[in-house]
Amino acid sequence: MPEPTDSIDDKREILFTYDQIQERVTELADEIKEDVDVNNLVLVGVLNGATFFATDLAKRFNNPNVKVDFISISSYGKKKESSKKPEIHCDLKNSIAEKDVVIVEDIIDTGYSMEILLDILQARRPKSLKVCTLLSKPERREVDVPIDYIGFTINNYWVEGYGLDSEEESRCFTNIVRRI
C-alpha cells in the first residue's frame, strides 16, 4: 500500500484517511443491514466515482444474495433548465423490479445528478429505493434529494481520491484529499 501521505503536496491535504474511510464503510453497511432485506438487496454503484466505495461497501455484506450493479448517466446540470433527456451511458445489467435497491454514490453536491437517477430507477419499479453517499456537501445543495446514508458531511471543498476525480485525474489516491 502507498504511504498515507503520498497523496498530499502543497496543493492538497488529507481530509479522510483510507483507514477512516474503511471504518465508516463498515458502519454504513451495518446501518443498511438493519434497514433492508439483504437477501433482496441490489447495490447500484454510480460510475465512475463510486466504484471504489461501492466495491468496498459490497464486501461488508459477505452474502451470496447481495447483488452489485453499476450505472452511468450524463449530467446536464440543472434538470429543469435542460431540454435534453439525461442519457444513460452504461446501464444496469439486470432488472431491479421488486428489488430493495440502494444507490451508492461518491458525493452529492447540488443534488441534480441524484434527482435524475432517482427518477430513472424509480420508473423501474423497485420494491424500495434508498440513497447512500460517501460524501455530502449540503452547502451546495440546489435540489432537495432524500439521502438515507451519509458517510461524511463536508464543507464546500473540492475533494479528490478514493474514486473522486478532477477531470479524470487523482481518482486513484488512497485517501480522500481536499484542494487547498
Query: Residues in the site for Mg ion, rule: CB under 5 A?
Result: 49
* Binds ligand IMP by CB under 6 A, chosen from 20, 26, 51, 110: 110
* Binds ligand IMP by CB under 6 A, chosen from 56, 69, 100, 109: 109
Q: How far is the CB of 49 from ligand IMP (least distance, A)?
A: 5
Q: Which residue has the cell 438493519?
A: 34
Residue 74 vs 95, nearer CB to ligand IMP: 74
Q: How far is the CB of 50 from Mg ion (least distance, A)?
A: 6
Measured at the CA of 170, the angle between CA 164 and CA 171, to 5 degrees, comes to 40
Distance, CA of 52 to CA of 175 (rounded, Å): 11
* Binds ligand IMP by CB under 6 A, chosen from 18, 52, 53, 112: 112
Distance, CA of 118 to CA of 79 (rounded, Å): 13
Instruction: Point out which residues pair with 136 in neighbouring strands.
Output: 108, 153
The question of whether 109 is a catalytic residue gets the answer: yes
Query: Which stretch, 15-23, 85-93, 121-129, 157-165, contacts ligand IMP (CB under 6 A)?
Result: 157-165
Residue 159 binding target from ligand IMP, Mg ion, none, CB below 5 to 8 Å by type: ligand IMP
Residue 30 vs 139, nearer CB to ligand IMP: 139
Q: Which residue has the cell 452511468?
A: 72
Closest by CA position to 111, among listed 81, 77, 87: 77
3-state helix, strand, coil in the chain (%, to 5): 25, 30, 45
Residue 90 vs 97, nearer CB to Mg ion: 90
Four-point Cα dihedral 109, 115, 116, 120, nearest 10:
140
CB 158 within 8 A of CB 41: no
* Binds ligand IMP by CB under 6 A, chosen from 111, 126, 151, 161: 111
- Residues found near ligand IMP in the complex (CB under 6 A): 49, 75, 105-114, 158-159, 164
Q: Active-site residue numbers? A: 109
